[in-house]
Amino acid sequence: MIRRLGFPLISAVIAFLFLSPLIWMVTSSFAPESSIFTSPFGLSSLSEAQLGNYQDAWQRANLGRAFLNTALQLVGIIGLGLLINSMAAFAFARLRFRGRDLIFTLVVALMILPMEAYIIPLFLTAKDLSLTGGPLNTLGGLIIPFTAKAVNIFFLRQHFLSLPTETEEAALVDGAGWFRIYFTIALPSIRPALSTVIVLDLITHWSDFLWPLVVCTREETRTVQIALANLFTQPPIQWGDILAGSVLLTLPVLFIFRFAQRHLVSSQLGSGSK
């Protein structure tokens, strides 16, 4: 009996230790400013709970506009990225042309470059192309540099290579072109991989900070991470507002993970039954 209860108990304690910062963030986001650092979890009693921090954070950081900017950024990156990266991956996996392996090697080599290594020439290029300044220009600057990604091309290419070629060869014999094979045969067959790419892009660009910090020079162009960071520098510094904003920015990530987990499992089961 003790042995059976020991492992779940130890697991619960370890889970609580890891989750305690998140629990403190959530509870303290409802606490008055004066009691955030004086009580173990911000709130000394439930009667102190209030929603004023969320209202202040939403208004001071202009989170409504920031959420809209980030949503448009994600839609653009994911929509264009799926098309561009999957087409490039399919070409590297199925088409034969001179220099294919060399070009793919160069694409893979781009995966090792950190953002800090090319952010200055990237910004200068974006500025020359008028992808900074106004809201529409800045939106283009947030989207266009990240539509084609080496890691996504490599990941999708490996999935295309794992597909059997018999159906595609039969379609070629029947007169179908490569574009038709790509859209009707190859692309539907890698739906689990496409789902994974969508989820990774959502999480990655939701937490983007460095590039938006460089190109979002106006308040109306800020993304959610830049808007939240502004609360750390905009006086008065209210930790209740900062924690409330952090909770608001964490909730979409939790929702995406929860939805994606279920979606990926169902996609894997569906692909395995064919």
More confident residue, 261 or 92: 92
* CA 62 centroid distance within chain: 21
Residues 33, 147, single domain; the answer is: no
More confident residue, 8 or 109: 109
The count of domains in the chain is 2
pLDDT one-digit tens code per residue, 247-266: 999 998 888 877 776 655 44
What is the four-CA torsion angle of 79, 85, 87, 91, rounded to 10 degrees? 180
Which residue range forms the structural domain that includes residue 169? Answer: 64-272
Residues 125, 261, single domain; the answer is: yes
Q: Give 102-105 contacts, CB < 8 A, sequence gap 24+.
A: 104/157
Residues 126, 262, single domain; the answer is: yes
Residues 40, 123, single domain; the answer is: no
pLDDT one-digit tens code per residue, 155-183: 999 999 988 888 888 888 888 888 899 99
Residues 42, 96, single domain; the answer is: no
pLDDT one-digit tens code per residue, 197-227: 998 899 899 999 999 999 998 889 999 999 9
Q: How far is residue 261 from each of residues 195, 197, 268, 271, measured CA to CA in Å?
A: 10, 13, 11, 16
In this structure, is residue 37 part of a structural domain?
yes
In this structure, is residue 5 part of a structural domain?
no
Q: Which of 213, 180, 225 is CA-nearest to residue 90?
A: 180
Residues 106, 134, single domain; the answer is: yes
User: 39 CB contacts (<8 Å, ≥6 apart)?
Assistant: 31
In this structure, is residue 3 part of a structural domain?
no
In this structure, is residue 4 part of a structural domain?
no
pLDDT band at residue 196 using 50, 70 and 90 as cut-offs: confident
